[in-house]
Structure formats: structure tokens, C-alpha cells
Structure 1
């Protein structure tokens, strides 16, 4: 499990803590809220507002109130409830797309030693040239690679989501809609897996000397001096 644990020490500058810009920290926490909100809407629509279950509840409650309602009418109401939740999901998707664009732009304006691609390349280079005590460098490269996969999945998630949101305008590509939807859903499960692994890694790291203060650093920027 140690491979998934982030560390607070900067491998490139031993003895110093990693630094996180205010913009990156803001992106991180807003991204957490947006992704969580998006996943919650999926959970709601797959449980509470599931068409079959919701229509049965609607029909049952209205009949108790003395109303006469057909299965078709109850289904229409349930479908409307589901559509309302999906509308919220789409807004979360737009927000996620905006955050991804912000992260891409931020990569160009970050300080050189805080750019993700630079860190990834540096970790790979260090892994290649380090001959002894490679554990810390290997760990850093592994963590950065996992983050790289997350960014890739996030990009696919956003692109497929936008395709589905604007499917009416992209009617000529209707034949691939099902495949796009499948990819979108599959990426969602992979992102959930990443979130679980990430949280588990942070919790485990916080219990060790080398990783204590990671959450605090992502809030205050890692300005606490030496690791």
C-alpha cells in the first residue's frame, strides 16, 4: 500500500516540504466538491429516482391520496424527476469542464518547480539516474504516474460528458452515442477507484512521519518549512 501514499517531503529538494500554489489548492478543493456532487447525482438517479422504483412510489402515494393514476402517468412523473437530477448532473459537468480548462491553463503559469509535467519528467529522470536508495524516487514516480492517469481519465470524462450534453447538436454522431455513454460510465468507475485509493493513501501517509501534514499542506500551501 505504500506505493499509493503521497509524501510531504520534496524528493527533488531533500529536507524541504512540497509547495502548493494557492491556485492549485483552490482547484483541488473545488474539484473535490464538484466531482462529489456529480457522483451524488448519479447515486440518486440510480437509487431514489430510479424510474421503476420512483414510479411505483408515485403511484402508491397518489392512490393513497385518492387520486387515480396509470402506470404510464406514474412513469412520466418518475422520468421527470430523473431528468431534473440529470440536469443538475450536467451543470456539475460544465463546472468540471471549466475546472479542467483552468488546470490546463494553470500548468502554463505555475512556478517551474510546481508544474505537474515538470515534476513527472523530473521524477522519471531521477529514477533513471539514481542507482542507490531508489525507493523514495520510485515512490514519487509511481504517485505522479497515478496522478497522470487521473488527469487523463478526467479529460476523457469531460469530453464524453460534453458530447452527451450536446448530443442534439451532434446528431450526425448519434451512432456512437451508446459507445460514448459506456466510456463515460466506465471512466466514472475508474475515477471513483482513484478517489478511494487517493484518500486511503493520504490517510496511511498521515499516520507516518514522512507524510504527516499532507492535508494541512494542501490547505496552507506547505509553508511550514522543513519536512
Structure 2
């Protein structure tokens, strides 16, 4: 069993499939859309609307139409185009912040056996208590720890992102802006790595002993294997 494969069955309740509440499932899919949108805007600004690339395109098109513009004007237009994409990125960031808050509140109101913290503790206790089937317990604990890292990354991404979004109101902390931006960018790559690992794990799980794990995140989990 690969380390990155999520487990469909509940190790605390043998023979039972894990249950996911409608609210958690909604959060999962909306969160996926928002993070994907945020990453796509970064990709667009790193390629299509990159100042150097878009400046060359704008200058070429102006020359074709017979218009003239100096380099400063072209760079200003290219920068405005890049800023418009970053504005969209900010909106995705606000949505992500809202989703993170929703997830924290949801954790409090979830049923006891569906709380993430409860499942993490159960996986740890199961790993310490079980000697006969420790491999499965260790695997479940590892997956839960990976998810825990993802949640921490989301918190860091949201906090640093909000700092950058409201940097004008936080002029007193301008000295740390560059460091905050570096942390934000680095965490973005880690989130991208998590998504890659997560998708690979789900794909492998669907092909092996956890077939149906994707549908469980859609319909909430059905009884039986």
C-alpha cells in the first residue's frame, strides 16, 4: 500500500466506509475550484501576462496598426494587464480565506466521528494500540499527517495573502513585505506539490483496495466495501 493513497475504510470502525457530511463535501469541491483558480491566475501572470512577454506583444500589435508608443507606455499597459489578473487572484484569495474560516467552524459542529482532529487522534491511538495490523494504522496516520500539513499551509497562504492584499493599510510592516511574499510563493509550490501527491494517491487508491473513494466524497460514503 503506497504511503500517499487515502484509505476508504474506517480503521476505527472495521468494515465501515468513512462518512463525509454534505458540508464537508461542499467545502472539499469548492476549495478545489478556488485553489485551482488561484493557481491558474499565477500561471497566467507567469507566462501570458508576464510584463516582458505582454510588452513585446503589445508593442508588436501597435506597430502593425500604425500606432506609436514609447517603452514606458508599453510597459505601463502591460503592467495594467498583469494587475487585472492579480485582482482576480486576490478575489480567489478572499474566497479561500472564507473557506478556511468555514472549515474551522465546520470542525466544531461536525459529528464526533467525522471531525478531522478526532480522526487524527484515533489514527494515532490505533497505531499505538494495534500490533497485529500496524501497517494499516501507520498508513492512515501518515495520510492524516499529510492532510494536517496541508491545512497548516492553507493557514499560512491565507494569512500571508491577506497581508499582501492589504499592504497599503499595513504600511508600518512594509519592511517585511518581501519576506511575506517569499513565504506566500513558497507555500504555493508546497500546495501544488500536495495537490499532485493527493491526486496521484486517489488515482492509485481507486485502482487498488479503496475503489469508490471519489464517489464517497460526492455521495457521502455508502455502507460496505
TM-score range, shorter chain: over 0.9
Q: Work out the CA distance in 2 between the residues paired with 1:133 and 1:38.
A: 41
Aligned-pair distance for 1:30?
0.1
Aligned-pair distance for 1:132?
1.8
Which runs of structure 2 are paired with 1:1-227 in the superposition (5 Å)? 2-208=2-208, 210-222=209-221, 224-227=222-225
Q: Work out the CA distance in 2 between the residues paired with 1:155 and 1:130.
A: 33
Q: Work out the CA distance in 2 between the residues paired with 1:133 and 1:10.
A: 14
What number of residue pairs does the alignment pair up? 225
Aligned-pair distance for 1:27?
0.1
Aligned-pair distance for 1:131?
1.5
Deviations 1:117-137 (A, max 9, x none): 011011111111111220110
CA RMSD, Structure 1 to Structure 2 (Å): 0.7
Q: Work out the CA distance in 1 between the residues paired with 2:154 and 2:170.
A: 21
Q: Work out the CA distance in 2 between the residues paired with 1:127 and 1:75.
A: 58
SS in structure 1 at match of 2:20: coil
Long gaps (5+) in structure 2: none
Q: Work out the CA distance in 2 between the residues paired with 1:56 and 1:48.
A: 11
Aligned-pair distance for 1:8?
1.0
Q: Work out the CA distance in 1 between the residues paired with 2:129 and 2:68.
A: 76
Q: Work out the CA distance in 2 between the residues paired with 1:7 and 1:97.
A: 28
Long gaps (5+) in structure 1: none
Q: Work out the CA distance in 2 between the residues paired with 1:52 and 1:146.
A: 38
**TM-score, normalisation: structure 2:** 0.99
Q: Which runs of 4+ in 1 moved over 3 A?
A: none
Aligned-pair distance for 1:169?
0.5
Q: Work out the CA distance in 2 between the residues paired with 1:225 and 1:53.
A: 54
Q: Work out the CA distance in 1 between the residues paired with 2:211 and 2:7.
A: 8
